[in-house]
Amino acid sequence: MQAWVIGNWKQNPATSHDVKALLDDLLTAVSTKAQLDGCQLMVAPSLIHLTAVSERIKGSSILSAAQDISAHSASIGAYTGDCSAQQIADAGATWTILGHSERRQYHQESHDCLLQKMTHALTQNLGVIFCIGETQAQYDAKQTLAVIDAQLSVITDLLTQQPELMAGLSERLIVAYEPVWAIGTGKVPTVAEVSATHQHIKQTLASFNTALENMTVLYGGSVNADNADSFAADSMIDGALVGGASLKAESFLAIAQAF
């Protein structure tokens, strides 16, 4: 199975100049590394840089993604600050992240909001990297699987409402398991914990519909060049969604090489 290593740049780097420098480093590193076979790289820059990044990576093996899309179905209209799935695709991205915990936390993204966003993305042929994961309090209370199940119901509700979106979905949907308490903290769950949670995610989706039995499930949360090997060695972990360590070409590439 192909591995995926996806860099979520969040609201970084600070300037267009720094974005170009990071991308140049990344393209140079990719072109000189032979060991990236079987690992698909993707970067998700902030919206302001999405067009430039998508242009710059054309012809390379790197894909680009948005970090979010509008919840409104209209391709254009009076939605100040929003950007539709159609506009994201026009900017050159082929994927979007949805449901990142920072969107859930700072923008109160709910089940219904994410259901709408996922519908718009998939209908407009954007692939979706759907983020799920429990908070520290939920982890401590051993509620991880219950939280995951509730969050996965966005996918199962979507497919119940629109079964036509099932066709080819395992190529256009990636689940990223990101414990909120591991994001940007340097704390990570054990590989065994991640593996068991991924197995649960895969089984839950496969039992909903056998067409989902090969779902790609990535781990995200303080992945770096030092710990990537241990995650990559587990057969339930199909790659990584990387925040901080994706802002340096060297560490991002080291993670990709581990997978």
* CA–CA separation, 56 and 49 (whole Å): 11
Residue 95 is assigned to a ligand binding site = no
According to DSSP, the β-strands at 173-177 and 127-132 are parallel
45 near ligand PEP (CB under 6 A): no
Residue 4 is assigned to a ligand binding site = no
132 near ligand PEP (CB under 6 A): no
Would you name the residues annotated as active-site residues? 100, 178
* CA–CA separation, 159 and 149 (whole Å): 15
Q: How many residues bind ligand PEP (CB under 6 A)?
A: 13
Nearest alpha-carbon partner for 148 in 184, 180, 170: 180
* CA–CA separation, 161 and 86 (whole Å): 22
Tokens 């100040």 belong to residue: 80
8 near ligand PEP (CB under 6 A): yes
Near ligand PEP in 162-201, by CB under 6 A: 178, 183-184
Could you tell me which stretch among 76-84, 103-111, 197-205, 220-228 binds ligand PEP (CB under 6 A)? 220-228
Residue 243 is assigned to a ligand binding site = yes
* CA–CA separation, 102 and 95 (whole Å): 18
* CA–CA separation, 208 and 137 (whole Å): 28
* CA–CA separation, 68 and 44 (whole Å): 9
Could you tell me which stretch among 78-86, 139-147, 167-175, 215-223 binds ligand PEP (CB under 6 A)? 215-223
Residue 9 is assigned to a ligand binding site = yes
Binding ligand PEP by CB under 6 A: which of 23, 169, 232, 242? 242
Binding ligand PEP by CB under 6 A: which of 36, 65, 244, 256? 244
Q: Please, where are the H alpha helices in 81-190?
A: 85-90, 101-106, 111-123, 136-140, 144-161, 169-172
Shortest Å distance, C-beta 174 to ligand PEP: 13
Residue 184 is assigned to a ligand binding site = yes
Binding site, by residue number, is: 8-10, 184, 222, 243-244
> Applying CB under 6 A, which residues contact ligand PEP?
8, 178, 183-184, 220-223, 241-245
Mark the binding-site residues for substrate, compressed into ranges: 8-10, 184, 222, 243-244
